[in-house]
A and B are shown apart, each in its own frame.
Chain A
Amino acid sequence: MQRVGVFVCWCGSNIAATVDVERVADVLGREPGVVFATHYQYMCSQAGQELIQNAIHEYDLTGVVICSCSPRMHEVTFRKTCERAGLNPYMVEIANIREQCSWIHKDRESATEKAVILGRAAIAKVHLNAPLTSGSSPVKKRALVIGGGIAGIQTALDIAEAGFEVDIVEKKPTIGGKMTQIDKTFPTLDCAACILTPKMVDAAQNEKIHIYAYSEVTSVKGFVGNFRVTIRRKARYVDETKCTGCGLCTEKCPQKKIPNEFNLGLDNRRAIYIPFAQAVPKVATIDPAACTMLKTGKCGVCSKVCTAGAIDYRQKDTYVEAEYGAIVAATGFNPIKLDKFDEFAYSQSPDVVTSLELERLMNAAGPTGGTLLRPSDGTHPKTIVFVQCVGSRCDDAKGKPYCSKICCMYTAKHAMLCREKYPDTDVYVFYIDVRTPGKNFDEFYRRAVEEYGVHYIKGMVGKVVPENGKLKVQASDLLGGRQLHIDADLVVLAAAIEPDESARPLATMLTASMDTNDFFTEAHAKLRPVESPTAGVFLSGACQGPKDIPETVAQASAAAAKVIGLLSKDSLVCNPCTAKPNELMCNGCSSCEKVCPYGAITYLDKEFRGPNRTVLLRRVAQVNPAVCQGCGACTVACPSGAMDLQGFSNQQILAEVDAICR
């Protein structure tokens, strides 16, 4: 029988206020096999850890039960404590009496009773624990960044700077992301392209960085340090190695009426196109849905004009398989669709635009050459109304429950730029709250009001009605106590932002968790903000939550630092809680092999001693402990109960259940 020590933590008042810790220690001290039980204010503190170590020596403990917070918080801490006292770290069990008890209960009596029961279950388990030893697995010294916007580019540049190879996978024909579409950046108003395109070029020219543009990740296998990833390189119908980016084909293509996604459909492109002049890689791409040659086999103009002979109508998707030690998700965001907000007449008038569309209308490389003109008739708008929080801060059924964070600042920027370029315009901003926390942000917003004379009105627009070339805006002015009727020329909607639609399937491939809004969840909201709970997966940029460019770049570099920390290790300590087959019970059915997500299980024909000195050849399962991640899928799938998870055996789990039901 084990000699068990029980240590009940108060966690200050977190546990002690709801649970009678003294009584828990007292009752658990009388459990079979328990030779020592005590309680202490902060078990994770230096003094608390010494208390545990002293008790291990003094009472010759072989097993330790800590009644404290979640094992996700301090299991590692307490395992190290016990290891330093000479105990095998896997002889420690945690009873979570904080998250699963004190924090969720109000009644002291029943909470105390529950804490005792949870402690009893842990004691029952520790009696069946066996010492385990960790192995190690090598680390593939290469990183994958999924998404080539400013987040992905910054992460890749920083990882490459540390000397590691890094691949960027970008689904669009060029890297650069949303920032390429933006005109100016707040709060300094420098041109987005001027600060982004040099970084795009740096990424392309860096010998440690390889860019897979117009490509997508189709499968991810493996685990931290050893991911195996398949990348689909979509057919561009243009040979990337031959195309010089001269753009002749994009001028001669007879298919002229294809909505240009780079300018958000505000103008047209050809069926063969280069998204914008500074695209990286600067290579043409044929849109297979629009190309006459690909659809009917008749045309071939681009191929005739291409002097480099780069056009290849028979190009097929190709697949690349590569191995990585770490993966960074940087899939970014999109503005939401506005079909649920038709009171703003977005679908009824071309002069109702989203803020991102306004960026294109004000950009020198945009459809109007940087002159702000109404999309409907090409005239200068004289009265411009900005509507904030369109789809943000909504009820779940109507929009997004969160604040999109960036809209207050970019709207202030837009309003300011409109007034600066065209002092004869009247600019109204309808706001619910103006949220401008950030360095030099509130000063920027105040400048829009005080120096540029933008009319900020606390209230909301109720409806927009297109009438005789004008947009009749009906709105409330809550502080002025009036209802306003404005004849506007242009209405700009600050649409909420949402994660890119590729994020959810990617999260499934990575087994990374997401919140209900499809933003990636971080391992700890405060202390591990750039790591996913899935080891080896890191988060960069708006895929983790709405954020502006300065914040995105900061997080991108933080994610790179975490990746560098991982890749600079030669090997990783493996989790010893791996599956182990009982060969005598295995019937060789392959069920476990089929469910194993890591490919850790193989089968071996092995000789066993039969009755009367005969030899039996049987097919039995073998687990590679360096690959097994201890998920337990095989233990559930095995029909004969031959597969068990070390540290979480069926016997141990049932002992816990028995203790709870006692």
Chain B
Amino acid sequence: MMETIRRISGVNPRKCMKCGKCTASCPAYDEMDYHPHQFVDMVESDRIGELMQSRGIYLCLSCFACVERCPRSVEPAKLIEAVRLAVIRQQGMDHLTPDQIPEKLDPALPQQAITSAFRKYRK
């Protein structure tokens, strides 16, 4: 499973030096059960089952602050995205279809959020 996550994300979690800058940058910190540096560590130590059960993977805003600031270019958000993808692939179902979009539209909703939602909930 770890190999699958590494392959989907293209991330090498071994590059992480456990500085915690990702977790320090995360705007969704208070909502999440696991935090970005823990995601990286859990992939590295092959605890992906727990990650796939986690609510946190859907609370990640995909703002990519952790990707931007990581001094070693580990890119934690890509790992989180890969885990979400793994969940979707395993279930063989998507969490979002295009025809569900019109009813969810809100004038205050940025375009980026829709793109991001597809990235998060659909293969």
Show the binding face of A for B, using Cβ within 8 Å: 343, 389, 393-395, 397-399, 432, 458-463, 474-476, 478, 483
- Whether a CB of chain A sits under 8 angstroms from the CB of B20 is yes
- Judging by beta carbons under 8 Å apart, are A432 and B65 in contact? no
- Judging by beta carbons under 8 Å apart, are A460 and B30 in contact? no
- Judging by beta carbons under 8 Å apart, are B23 and A478 in contact? yes
Nearest CB on B from A494, distance (A) = 13
- Judging by beta carbons under 8 Å apart, are B20 and A478 in contact? yes
Q: A432-B19, A478-B23 are in contact. List 13 more A-B contacts (CB 8 A).
A: A393-B72, A394-B71, A394-B72, A395-B15, A395-B70, A462-B26, A462-B65, A474-B24, A476-B24, A478-B18, A478-B20, A483-B23, A483-B35
- What's the Cα separation between A394 and B35 when bound, in Å? 21
Query: What string of 1s and 0s marks CB contacts (under 8 Å) between B2-38 and chain A?
Result: 0000000000000101111111111001100001010
B37 to chain A: closest residue by CB: A478
Listed A/B pairs (14) with beta-carbon separation below 8 Å: A343-B25, A389-B71, A395-B72, A459-B19, A461-B21, A462-B23, A462-B24, A462-B25, A462-B26, A462-B65, A463-B65, A478-B18, A483-B29, A483-B35
B29 to chain A: closest residue by CB: A483
Q: Which 10 A-B pairs give the minimum distances between C-beta atoms? A: A462-B24, A462-B25, A476-B24, A460-B21, A476-B20, A476-B23, A432-B19, A395-B73, A459-B20, A483-B29
Query: What string of 1s and 0s marks CB contacts (under 8 Å) between B71-92 and chain A?
Result: 1110000000000000000000
- What's the Cα separation between A37 and B26 when bound, in Å? 68
- A461 neighbours in B (Cβ, 8 Å): 21, 24
- A478 neighbours in B (Cβ, 8 Å): 18, 20, 23, 37
- A389 neighbours in B (Cβ, 8 Å): 19, 71
With contacts A343-B25, A478-B37, A483-B29 taken as known, whether A458 is within 8 angstroms of B20 at the C-beta atoms is: yes
- What's the Cα separation between A483 and B37 when bound, in Å? 12
- B37 neighbours in A (Cβ, 8 Å): 476, 478
- Whether a CB of chain A sits under 8 angstroms from the CB of B47 is no
- A462 neighbours in B (Cβ, 8 Å): 21-26, 65, 69
Show the binding face of B for A, using Cβ within 8 Å: 15, 17-26, 29-30, 35, 37, 65, 69-73
- B22 neighbours in A (Cβ, 8 Å): 462
- Judging by beta carbons under 8 Å apart, are A395 and B71 in contact? yes
- Judging by beta carbons under 8 Å apart, are A460 and B26 in contact? no
- Judging by beta carbons under 8 Å apart, are A343 and B19 in contact? no
- What's the Cα separation between A111 and B30 when bound, in Å? 58
Interface-central residue, A393, A462, A475, by most chain B CB under 10 Å: A462
- What's the Cα separation between A461 and B21 when bound, in Å? 6
- A474 neighbours in B (Cβ, 8 Å): 24-25
Say which residue of A343, A397, A458 sits within 8 Å of B73 (CB atoms).
A397
Nearest CB on B from A341, distance (A) = 9
- What's the Cα separation between A458 and B21 when bound, in Å? 11
A459 to chain B: closest residue by CB: B20
- Judging by beta carbons under 8 Å apart, are A459 and B71 in contact? no
- A476 neighbours in B (Cβ, 8 Å): 20-21, 23-24, 35, 37
With contacts A462-B25, A478-B37, A483-B26 taken as known, whether A343 is within 8 angstroms of B20 at the C-beta atoms is: no
- B25 neighbours in A (Cβ, 8 Å): 343, 462-463, 474
Nearest CB on A from B24, distance (A) = 3
A461 to chain B: closest residue by CB: B24
- A393 neighbours in B (Cβ, 8 Å): 17, 19, 71-72
- B72 neighbours in A (Cβ, 8 Å): 393-395
With contacts A343-B25, A478-B37 taken as known, whether A460 is within 8 angstroms of B20 at the C-beta atoms is: yes
- B35 neighbours in A (Cβ, 8 Å): 476, 483
- Judging by beta carbons under 8 Å apart, are A398 and B73 in contact? yes
With contacts A476-B37, A478-B18, A483-B30 taken as known, whether A399 is within 8 angstroms of B23 at the C-beta atoms is: no
- A460 neighbours in B (Cβ, 8 Å): 19-21, 24
- Judging by beta carbons under 8 Å apart, are A398 and B71 in contact? yes
Nearest CB on B from A408, distance (A) = 14
Interface-central residue, B20, B25, B73, by most chain A CB under 10 Å: B20
A473 to chain B: closest residue by CB: B24
A397 to chain B: closest residue by CB: B73
With contacts A389-B19, A432-B19, A483-B30 taken as known, whether A459 is within 8 angstroms of B73 at the C-beta atoms is: no
- B19 neighbours in A (Cβ, 8 Å): 389, 393, 432, 459-460
- What's the Cα separation between A33 and B53 when bound, in Å? 74
- What's the Cα separation between A394 and B29 when bound, in Å? 24
Nearest CB on A from B14, distance (A) = 13
Nearest CB on A from B81, distance (A) = 20
B23 to chain A: closest residue by CB: A476
A481 to chain B: closest residue by CB: B35
With contacts A432-B17, A460-B19 taken as known, whether A483 is within 8 angstroms of B71 at the C-beta atoms is: no
- Judging by beta carbons under 8 Å apart, are A432 and B73 in contact? no
Nearest CB on B from A396, distance (A) = 9
- What's the Cα separation between A76 and B4 when bound, in Å? 53
- B65 neighbours in A (Cβ, 8 Å): 462-463
- What's the Cα separation between A222 and B20 when bound, in Å? 52
- Judging by beta carbons under 8 Å apart, are B23 and A459 in contact? yes
- B30 neighbours in A (Cβ, 8 Å): 483
- Judging by beta carbons under 8 Å apart, are B17 and A459 in contact? no
- What's the Cα separation between A41 and B80 when bound, in Å? 54
- What's the Cα separation between A343 and B71 when bound, in Å? 12
A433 to chain B: closest residue by CB: B17
B32 to chain A: closest residue by CB: A483
- A463 neighbours in B (Cβ, 8 Å): 24-25, 65, 69
Nearest CB on B from A347, distance (A) = 16
- A399 neighbours in B (Cβ, 8 Å): 71
- What's the Cα separation between A389 and B72 when bound, in Å? 12
- A394 neighbours in B (Cβ, 8 Å): 71-72
Nearest CB on A from B30, distance (A) = 7
- Judging by beta carbons under 8 Å apart, are B23 and A432 in contact? no
- What's the Cα separation between A474 and B19 when bound, in Å? 14
- A475 neighbours in B (Cβ, 8 Å): 24
- B21 neighbours in A (Cβ, 8 Å): 460-462, 476
- A397 neighbours in B (Cβ, 8 Å): 73
- What's the Cα separation between A393 and B72 when bound, in Å? 8
- What's the Cα separation between A452 and B93 when bound, in Å? 58
Interface-central residue, A389, A394, A474, A478, by most chain B CB under 10 Å: A478
- A459 neighbours in B (Cβ, 8 Å): 19-20, 23-24
- A483 neighbours in B (Cβ, 8 Å): 23-24, 26, 29-30, 35
- Judging by beta carbons under 8 Å apart, are A343 and B23 in contact? no
- What's the Cα separation between A460 and B22 when bound, in Å? 8
